[in-house]
Amino acid sequence: MLPFIPKRKRYYYSLRHARSDPHPPTSFLFRWEDELKFWQRSNGSESLNLQVILETVLQIPSYAYEAPRAIMDLPLSADWLVRPDTDIGYILHAIEQYLAKELGRQIDFERRTLNREVIIAKGRFRYRYLPGVPTLKVHMFADRPDPDGGNLVGTAGSISKFLDYLGDYIGLYVIDETDPVDLAASIPYGHHQSTYLVPFSVRQFRVL
């Protein structure tokens, strides 16, 4: 929380990120795994918001919570230290206290069981080239594929891991009922320009 201690600036200058940006970020994310480990930081003077904290720090997928956009955009200018084995309810309570003290906002998180639409993935995974696209990876687009094959976003070590990413991106839980398959390597996946043009209808989304 602000104001930051002087040692924080010295710590930032010890990182390689300081070579390209001399100004310390408004937020650091750390994990504690028997020792302090740097995880992530905000970009320049841009603060992390509540949505980033929920999805990155607590790793709550986008389809697992609901809140008004104005609440999700609340800036949280603080450094975060996360212990992976800490109960999520405990952390949410700490965030409630932070929002009340630093921003004067009384926000309560409540767990509920709700009925939601889901996507069920079936069949057997195999690579195939998308007609007219030169790169071999899982392509995601909402209208038409880019001629250059789009951007490579990341890789997944299993079908299940990729479906977790997909569900988080489109905001719907994806149930994995695909046939077991032995992968020789991780699955590369990427976006085409149309998936960045939000809002788009989930029914327009294509994964090939």
139-148 core/surface letters (b: 16 or more CB in 10 A; e: else): bbbbeebbee
Q: What is the DSSP letter of 193?
A: G
Half-sphere exposure in the Cβ direction for 128 (13 Å, CA) = 7
What are the extents of the domains in the chain? 6-102, 118-207
pLDDT in tens, 22-74: 778 888 888 888 888 888 787 766 677 888 888 887 888 888 888 888 888 88
CA atoms of 118 and 121, how far apart (whole Å):
10
Residue the block writes with tokens 């994806």: 174
Q: In 81-204, where does DSSP find H-type helix?
A: 88-102, 159-170
The whole-model pTM stands at: 0.69
Q: What is the DSSP letter of 25?
A: P
Q: In the chain, where does DSSP find H-type helix?
A: 6-13, 50-52, 69-72, 88-102, 159-170
**Longest CA–CA separation in the chain, Å:** 56
pLDDT number for residue 198: 55
- 151: tokens are 């951007």
CA atoms of 167 and 148, how far apart (whole Å):
25
CA atoms of 72 and 109, how far apart (whole Å):
12
**Distance, CA of 147 to chain centre:** 27
- Tell me whether the omega of the peptide bond preceding residue 199 falls within 30 degrees of 0, making it cis: yes
pLDDT in tens, 153-179: 889 989 999 999 999 888 889 999 999
Give 204's pLDDT tier (boundaries 50, 70, 90): low
Characterize the bridge pairing of strands 80-82 and 118-123.
Answer: unpaired
